Amino acid sequence: MSNARRFAIAALAASALTLGTATSSYATTYTNASSNSCGAVYFIDNGDTFKFLDVCSDGKGVRLQYTSPTTGSPSTSHTKIHVDYTGGYTGYDLNNAYVYDTDMNENACFYFRVGHVDNGAYVSGSYGGWDLACAAN
């Protein structure tokens, strides 16, 4: 991954965090889980919503994988759920992001990560590291 692309995704994450907390009466948290230079997913704790960004016009989609939310201690070995976004290039603008709404118990925590999907199949080796997130209380 090029340094310029890493910087662009990091800058996007910082600006999303700033915008999310500055324009809302809630303490909204955006958590970035980027697998590589072509995909990112943000979790918005107030409303239990994921936002997907596909920043490469490569024909591949973005796959979110998250563990079953629990009010106990989350673990990466818990049941895993995946959601794919294959609608094409979104760019770096969260206003263009694909939105996936969930309904989690308050204070439920889970791990999530991002990978690629191509023709409905996970692209082996494309998942990034696990990130911890929790629903708003």
Structural domain count of the chain: 1
**For residue 19, what are the domain limits?**
3-134
Instruction: Report d(CA 58, CA 126) in Å as an integer.
Output: 14
DSSP 39-93: EEEEEETTTTEEEEEE---SS-EEEEEEEPPBSS---TTS-EEEEEE-S---TT-
Q: Write the pLDDT tens digit of every residue in 85-94.
A: 999 999 988 8
Q: What is the CATH number of the domain that holds 63?
A: 2.60.40
Rounded-to-integer distance, Cα 125 and Cα 95, Å: 29
Q: Does the pLDDT at position 69 exceed 90?
A: yes
Asked whether the beta carbons of 114 and 35 are under 8 A apart, the reply is: yes
Between 7 and 95, the higher pLDDT residue: 95
Q: Which pLDDT tens digit goes with each residue over 23-61?
A: 333 334 555 555 566 888 999 888 899 999 998 899 999
